[in-house]
């Protein structure tokens, strides 16, 4: 079956990226190549796009449909940008794009186990070569660890009850499939609370996906690892989909844009700190109503952009 992905905030991202015809660009989250395609069109056969994804299915899908000579596909993790560029003899690039989270094909392919809608093995790995799966987390982590994951990454008020129900259920049977887990979650949440707030398993599934793929820690590392590899004037564009991610991008950019680290009661600056970036989007850029109407996934998307000094 052919799965597709509708890129979000595409026009806005490309405008902010300000591509130069002979520039080198990194798309750190290839997916089905929506942003990569637009950058390739901007540079019109002259520059290079290095497109990275940790999912081999993304790499295979795009290599089968794009035949651009100036596109380099890399199966890897965006936190390894320093090594990925060094292996190609590159010290810095002209711009970078990161469109975080899962792609629609990952979500819509029942076999990947990301969705509570389909019954499938509890997997949720973006990188199919990674050892840790959602099944390991659900069946091996302590009640305290599960509570912390569901509370922190899913912001679910029933986190500790869900964790307790999981631990109780797995004493007799390992939880192997998405629908077994959905059943346990439904049993944990009181019927009155289940009537509002969307599908009762939504938050727990989001939390498990973030934990399985270590998404938030990797996002923190990404900002610090990637910015030094931008040329002066080069831009980094990051699209996030929930508040936890957006907070990391906002504070990560602010930290690198800070002009002074001195305590507030110092009369003069003595730290000699040099900001490495300038923040271009004071507030995150949101999708237009027209885009949201045609692609509901765009509703929660937030784009933040910074430029290297």
Ligand X SMILES: C[S@@+](CC[C@H](N)C(=O)[O-])C[C@H]1O[C@@H](n2cnc3c(N)ncnc32)[C@H](O)[C@@H]1O
Which residues are part of a known binding site for S-adenosyl-L-methionine? 33-35, 53, 78, 99, 106
Q: Smaller CB distance to ligand X: residue 106 or 147?
A: 106
Distance CA 122, CA 211 (A): 13
Nearer Cβ to ligand X (104/160): 104
Structure tokens of 299?
């509703």
What are the structure tokens assigned to 146, written together? Answer: 């599960």
Site for ligand X in 128-187 (CB under 6 A): none
Nearer to ligand X, 84 or 166 (CB): 84
Longest dimension (CA), the chain: 65
101 scored as a contact of ligand X (CB under 6 A): yes
Minimum Å gap between C-beta 34 and ligand X is 2
Residue selected from 12, 32, 39, 162 as contacting ligand X according to rule CB under 6 A: 32
- What is the closest distance, in whole angstroms, from the C-beta atom of residue 39 to ligand X in the complex? 10
CA–CA separation, 194 vs 186, rounded Å? Answer: 8
Q: Residue 169: what are its φ and ψ, rounded to 5°?
A: -60, -40
Question: What is the separation of C-alpha 81 from the centre of its chain, rounded to a whole number of angstroms?
Answer: 15
Q: Which is nearer to ligand X, 5 or 308 (CB)?
A: 5
Q: Contact between 126 and ligand X (CB under 6 A)?
A: yes
How many helices and strands in the chain, by DSSP H and E?
Answer: 14, 8
Among 279, 217, 270, 225, which residue's Cα sits nearest to residue 248? Answer: 217
Q: Which is nearer to ligand X, 114 or 158 (CB)?
A: 114
| Site track for ligand X across 226-265, x = CB under 6 A | ----------------------------------------
Gap between the Cα atoms of 54 and 76, Å rounded:
5
Minimum CB–partner distance for residue 247 and ligand X (Å):
17
- The only residue of 20, 148, 177, 218 in contact with ligand X, by rule CB under 6 A: 218
Burial (CB < 10 A; 0-12, 13-18, 19+), residue 289, is exposed
93 phi-psi bin (left φ>0, alpha ψ -120 to 50, beta other)? beta
- Residue 240's DSSP bridge partners are 302
Smallest distance from ligand X to CB 178, Å? 19
Choice from 16, 43, 50, 55 touching ligand X (CB under 6 A): 55
In the complex with ligand X, which residue's Cβ is closer, 99 or 307? 99
* 171: three-class secondary structure by DSSP: coil
Q: Which residues bind ligand X (CB under 6 A)?
A: 5, 7, 28-29, 31-35, 52-55, 58, 77-78, 99, 101, 103, 126, 218
């Amino acid at each position: 079956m052919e799965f597709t992905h509708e890129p979000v905030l595409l026009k806005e991202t490309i405008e902010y990226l300000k591509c130069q015809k002979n520039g080198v660009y990194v798309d750190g989250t290839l997916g089905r190549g929506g942003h990569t395609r637009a950058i390739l069109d901007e540079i019109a056969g002259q520059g290079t796009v290095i497109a990275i994804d940790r999912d081999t299915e993304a790499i295979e899908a795009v290599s089968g449909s794009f035949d651009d000579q100036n596109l380099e596909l890399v199966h890897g993790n965006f936190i390894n940008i320093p090594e990925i560029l060094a292996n190609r003899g590159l010290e810095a690039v002209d711009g970078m794009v990161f469109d975080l989270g899962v792609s629609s094909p990952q979500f819509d392919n029942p076999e990947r186990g990301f969705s509570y809608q389909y019954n499938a093995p509890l997997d949720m790995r973006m990188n199919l070569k990674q050892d840790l799966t959602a099944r390991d987390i659900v069946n091996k982590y302590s009640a305290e660890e599960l509570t912390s994951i569901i509370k922190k990454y899913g912001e679910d008020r029933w986190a500790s009850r869900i964790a307790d129900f999981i631990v109780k259920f797995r004493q007799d049977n390992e939880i192997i499939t998405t629908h077994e887990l959905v059943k346990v979650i439904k049993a944990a949440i009181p019927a009155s609370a289940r009537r509002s707030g969307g599908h009762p398993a939504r938050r727990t599934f989001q939390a498990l996906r973030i934990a399985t793929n270590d998404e938030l820690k990797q996002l923190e590392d990404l900002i610090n690892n990637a910015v030094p590899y931008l040329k002066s004037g080069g831009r980094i564009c990051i699209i996030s989909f929930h508040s936890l991610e957006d907070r990391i991008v906002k504070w990560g950019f602010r930290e690198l844009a800070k002009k002074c680290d001195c305590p507030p009661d110092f009369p003069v600056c003595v730290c000699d700190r040099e900001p490495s970036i300038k923040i271009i989007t004071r507030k995150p850029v949101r999708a237009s109503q027209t885009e949201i109407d045609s692609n509901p996934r765009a509703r929660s998307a937030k784009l933040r952009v910074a430029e290297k000094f």
